[in-house]
Amino acid sequence: MRTRGRYVNALSRASATSTARPPELLLPALRQHARRVAVLYEVGRKYSQQLARTFRARFEDEHAGRVLEEFFYLALETDFLPQLRRVREFDPDVVFLPGSFTDATLVAAQARTVGLDATFLGGDAWSSPLLFQRGAPPGPAYYVELCPRSPEFEERYGRGEEGDAPGCRAVLAYDAVEVIAAGLRTLGPLRAEALESGRDETRRRLRDAIARTDLKATTGRVRFDAHGDRIQGVALQAVESTPEGLRVRPRGWLGER
């Protein structure tokens, strides 16, 4: 938030920092069941690189028999066959792909070409109805999402002009507005001067009210830590092949609700 040329620390996120949550919450299970992990990430994209770095730091342990190898690709790259051939030679149990759903879809389709058979794992950037529309991954696939499904919200959202199914970002945006509205309600009626000459103080009051938020919203409980990050867990989603095609099914919740 900016006030008269000065920045005020007023950032609160409707979701937890995605570069921390997936590795932190999925690693306990991976440490039990996986020994060899290949990480295929996008160079130059902060989201992808930070997830890869965090994952490596918290998973790799040669003394425990857990090894990790990194592979990378460039932005806008669509031919992943060279990287996937090297991944296959590494023979991983799990391929962690902290990229977008478009990258994951292309990688999954090309993984079959090179005979790579491993479990695929992704972050919240996989969340899209278009995930794996070019073909199923060669093995099981899981990703985390920063919000659980809400049939009630989906029904109300579907009544709009577009009629498209809402994604996670739509639900988080809805909750963000709810948080702001709740903060404004705590301020009570505002006089004209509070929105004019006194607006800096009003902004600070709203910032502090949002920081104290403890609200039951569509995506669950909303509250923030000292850095403005939401304190929450993630939904674990499984991508499964069915006679009707690929389906995404919830497989549980990791961390706090």
pLDDT digits (tens, 9 = 90+) for 117-175: 999 999 989 988 889 988 888 889 999 888 777 788 888 887 666 666 677 778 889 99
| Among 134, 142, 138, residue whose Cα is nearest residue 105 | 134
Alpha carbons 211 and 85: distance in angstroms, whole number:
48
Helix (H, G, I), strand (E, B) or coil at 130: coil
Kindly provide the residue ranges of all beta strands, DSSP E only, lying in the chain, ordered along the sequence. Answer: 2-3, 6-7, 36-42, 67-73, 94-97, 119-122, 141-145, 215-217, 220-222, 234-242, 245-254
Alpha carbons 17 and 20: distance in angstroms, whole number:
6
Pick the CATH number of 21-145+232-254 from 3.30.360.10, 3.40.50.2300, 2.30.30.170, 3.30.590.10: 3.40.50.2300
The end-to-end CA distance of the chain, in Å, is 28
pLDDT at 1: 36
Token digits for 111?
């993984």
pLDDT digits (tens, 9 = 90+) for 63-89: 889 999 999 999 999 999 999 999 999
Mean pLDDT score, 245-250: 86
Predicted structure pTM score:
0.80
Token digits for 167?
């994604």
pLDDT at 27: 63
Q: Are 207 and 10 in contact (CB under 8 A)?
A: yes
User: Regarding predicted confidence, which is higher, 9 or 173?
Assistant: 173
pLDDT at 16: 64
**Is 60 exceeded by the pLDDT of residue 8?**
no
Extents of the domains making up the chain: 21-145+232-254, 151-222
pLDDT at 13: 67
**Is 50 exceeded by the pLDDT of residue 205?**
yes
pLDDT at 88: 97
pLDDT digits (tens, 9 = 90+) for 10-52: 556 666 655 445 445 566 667 668 899 999 999 999 999 999 9
Q: Lowest-pLDDT range, 25-29, 133-137, 197-201, 252-256?
A: 25-29
pLDDT at 20: 45
**Is 70 exceeded by the pLDDT of residue 4?**
no
Q: Are 21 and 231 in contact (CB under 8 A)?
A: no
